[in-house]
Structure 1
Amino acid sequence: MVKVMIIGLALLVSGQAAYAAQDPTAPLGWYKKKSTGVAKVKTYPLPTLQSIVCDEGSNCFAMLNDKILSDGQSVAGYKIRHINSERVIVARAGKIWHLELFNSDVRQ
C-alpha cells in the first residue's frame, strides 16, 4: 500500500512539473524556441549615393539615403571620410567603401 502511494505521489509530482514547464496561456501547439547560443550579427546595408554637389571652394556635399551630408557626418551606421566630385568614401568597423555615381565600366 505504501509503495502504491509513493509511486502515485511520484507520478503526480512529475505531471505537475511537466505542466509547469509550458506556458498555460500560450496558443495550442506553440512551443518556445530553444536558443542556439549563437549571437545574431546585425548587418548595415551600404548607403545609396544619389548625388554629389561641389561649390567653387571645393566644398562638396553628397546626398546619401535622401539626406544631404558633408565630411565627418554619419549615415546608416557609416561615417563619411571624404567627398570629392567623383566619389564618396565611407567607413565602418575599420573597412572603407568608395561610392561612385556611375559605374566606371561604361560601354557604348
Structure 2
Amino acid sequence: MLLLTLGFGQIAYAQQDPTAPLGWYSKKSSSVAKVKTYALPTLQSVVCDEGAQCFAMLNDNILSEGQSIAGYHVKKITSQRVTLARNGKVWHLALFNSDVRQ
C-alpha cells in the first residue's frame, strides 16, 4: 500500500509545479511567435559605367538602385558604398574599410 501511494504521488508531482501560483498554467510553446530575421547582404563589388550609373554585386547578384535582395531595398549605389533600407532602418555598406592604412 505504501508503494502504491508513493507511485501516485510522483505522477501528481510531475503534472503540476508546486511552486507555481494558484490558477497559473504554463502556455504552450507553439503559441510563441517566431521572428523571421534576414541576414544583411554582403557587398562584393561596385561597377559604374560612363553614364554614372552604378551596379552593385550583393550575395552574387548584380543589382541596381530600386531593386531588392533578401528583404532589403537598394536605395542608392555610389562608387564607394551601397545604401540599403528595410522596415524604416538604413544600412550603408562600404566597399572598403575606412580604417585601411598603408
Name the TM-score, length of structure 1 as normaliser: 0.66
Which of 53, 77, 85 matches 1:59? 53
Pairing of 1:63-82 with structure 2 (within 5 A): 63-82=57-76
CA distance in 2, matches of 1:37, 1:103: 43
Alignment RMSD (CA, Å): 1.1
Which of 74, 77, 80 matches 1:83? 77
* Structure whose alpha-carbon radius of gyration is higher: 1
Name the counterpart of 2:42. Answer: 48
What is the identity, as a one-letter code, of the residue corresponding to 2:77? I
Matched, 1:107 2:96: no
Q: Deviations over 1:13-67 (max 9, x none)?
A: xxxxxxxxxxxxxxxxxxxxx3263211111000000000001111000000100
Unaligned runs of 5+ in 1: 1-33
Displacement over 6 Å in runs of 4+: none
What is the identity, as a one-letter code, of the residue corresponding to 1:105? D
Q: CA deviation at 1:102?
A: 1.2
> How many residue pairs get matched?
75
